[in-house]
Amino acid sequence: MQTKSLLSFLALASVPLASAGNGNGNGHDKGSGKSCSHKGLDWYAKKAGLKYFGAATDSPGQRERAGLESAYPKYDEIMWKSGEFGQTTPTNGQKWLFTEPTQGTFNFTEGDIVVSLAHQHHKLLRCHALVWHSQLAPWVEAGTWTKDELRSVIVSHITNVMTHYKGQCYAWDVVNEAFNEDGTYRESVFSTVLGGDEFIQLAFETASKLDPQAKLYYNDYNLESPSAKTEAVRKLVRQLQNKKIKIDGVGLQAHLTAESRPTLDEHVAAIKGFAELGVEVALTELDVRLEMPANATNLAQQKEAYKNAVGACVQVDGCIGVTIWDFYDPFSWVPAVFPGEGAALLWFDDFSRHPAYEGVVEALTNKTQGYNGKGPRGVKRWVA
């Protein structure tokens, strides 16, 4: 999640209350007049050759800050029982701030709630995130570390967290958001003390020893179209590969804006650029925010943005799955971080669906422009 996401977590109480009336997760799209097929997005994704279509979620204890307890039953029905999602990621509970709030004292309560629900409902689990400059425990940032001390801190943290969750995570976001937009390393306690190359290599080396079955990802935002940042991440992947350090995937967070969305071709080019290095690619935190209020124009733009992103993933063999960053607008991080923007997900406050839901279904059923009769994995066109 982007740098300001801690603010969104702390400010959840300011998110407007849901109007949890008679809206229904299997109802008509708000503003579209269309009724969607209800097999579930994960079903469509797997028919299209992907491993999963998922949604991140928080523990109920964290969601209580939004004051939306009355919405929980419907939310939980869609999240866990509807068949819409085959995968989840704990939005906050596995981050450093929560797992090691004071040095050497570990607390897995929040992460364990989501992990337990994922296993109970047979959802694939992506785990997030081990080393990140944001939502970092204050003691890490405040410390005056020698190189050896900070190396020890990183190794201890990764060791304890990954050992606790060993065997439960399909993938881990090992390092999150280490680059600036120009491709230089972001300034953080990790890059300042150790240098970008060293702390990232240390994190991946450590992670690779602790859970050999887990896929290890580098995860970042603004990787959805070719840029200096995408080239820097490609260089990082090659560096790790050349040093024989395990890296299995690159996560494209895909926090997008409806009014200035990447094109389908830009998405495809970025995904291909990583996939050709032999690593998996996934859209890990997809949402598309609007300038509020939502209206027919920006909802149509949002639909196109979702359609382009998901359609590109389906077209490129190396792209294995899509996770939206929660699915229910009142639980989105966006309004607290970007005042005047919101409605970034696929379900409105009343649990009716955005027109963008149809855009995702279209992308997953080979209706996105760019298909020529077969899907990327040799799957012929099919009709739901």
Q: What is the pLDDT of residues 220-258, one digit of tens each?
A: 999 999 999 999 999 999 999 999 999 999 999 999 999
Walk me through the domains of the chain, giving residue ranges and CATH numbers: 41-365 (3.20.20.80)
In the chain, how many H helices and how many E strands? 15, 10
Tell me: pLDDT of 151 over 80: yes
Summarize the chain as % helix, strand, coil (round to 5). 40, 20, 40
**pLDDT for the residue numbered 380:** 32
Q: Does pLDDT of 28 surpass 50?
A: no
Q: Considering 177, 224, 358, 362, which one is annotated as catalytic?
A: 177
Dihedral class, residue 343 (left if φ above 0, else alpha if ψ from -120 to 50, else beta)? left
pLDDT band at 366 (very low <50, low <70, confident <90, very high): confident
Catalytic residue among 285, 304, 358, 362: 285
pLDDT tens across 77-129, in order? 999 999 999 999 999 999 999 999 999 999 999 999 999 999 999 999 999 99
- 177 a catalytic residue: yes
Strands (E), the chain: 52-55, 87-88, 124-132, 171-176, 215-220, 249-252, 255-257, 280-291, 319-324, 341-342
Helix (H), strand (E) at residue 296: helix 296-315
CB burial of residue 382 (10 Å; 0-12, 13-18, 19+) = exposed
Instruction: Look at residue 153 and give its three-state secondary structure.
Output: helix
Global confidence as pTM: 0.88
* Three-state SS at 130: strand
Helix (H, G, I), strand (E, B) or coil at 124: strand
Per-residue pLDDT band at 72 (split at 50, 70, 90): confident
User: Could you tell me the pLDDT band of residue 10, with boundaries at 50, 70 and 90?
Assistant: very low
Active site residue 285: yes
